[in-house]
Amino acid sequence: MNRSVKVAVIGAGVSGLSATRELQRVVVFEKQHRNGGTWVYDLRTDSDPLSVDPNRQIVHSSLYLSLRTNLPRQLMGFLDYPFSKEETGDPRTFPGHEEELRFLDKFVDEFGLRSLTRLNTEVVRVERVNRHWVVESRTQSSASIVVIIGLGPSGFDISRHVAPIAKEVHIAATIPDGMDYNLENRDNIFYHPVSKHVYEDGMVAFEDGSSIHANAMIYCTG
């Protein structure tokens, strides 16, 4: 008998994105501000080049400006989504990192993976509890994280109004079959079956095993 499973993908680089495309019903946790993994170039450098200071600012990037791939573009693509030469791109067999990142962006949009990814979200704990995995994450932004309980008419309407000004909107509700999940295609709205427990420090644990620290909770339960 087939059974439904919930999958968390940690990292939105090449392997994370390809796995997400195949699985679809997943949540992707990405520490950086965008998809692309190691192919996201960052001009900044660590505040302590010797890595002695434990409180140093760490730049999450391993790219340098002139970096090119060390594999030909024919091997950098996917089986059914090849890495072809762009008409206005780099004609070389070994393209630069900018073109690789553009390729991954196209892949994300082609297969609708952007809405599945929680950006600026670092996974801090993964633990197996009984037969389930608990994934604890934290966001890297000072912007508000809002939890909405319920998704009736008021919950649906409030979600649309809150989403443009909140970092993330987490909806805890039983989603009716056939309902439009996209809420105007916003990629900062996430769904959870129901909330399991709310702690004094603002952490909300959901039935799907995930948890977040909320700045505000809105009860739309009638």
Is the distance from CB of 94 to CB of 69 less than 8 angstroms?
yes
Model pLDDT, residue 105: 93
Q: Which helix (H) or strand (E) holds 158?
A: helix 153-162
Condensed to tens digits (0 to 9), the pLDDT of residues 91-101 reads: 888 999 999 99
Domains in the chain: ranges and CATH: 7-116 (3.50.50.60), 143-219 (3.50.50.60)
Token pair for residue 219? 């009860």
Model pLDDT, residue 128: 87
CB-based contacts of 40-45 (< 8 A; 24+ apart in sequence): 40/101, 41/65, 41/97, 41/98, 41/101
Q: Kindly give the parts of the chain with pLDDT less than 70.
A: 1-4, 87-89, 140-143, 175-186, 222
Q: What three-state secondary structure class fits 75?
A: helix
Using alpha carbons, select from 142, 137, 99, 90 the residue that is nearest to residue 118.
137
Is the distance from CB of 124 to CB of 138 less than 8 angstroms?
yes
Read off the pTM.
0.59
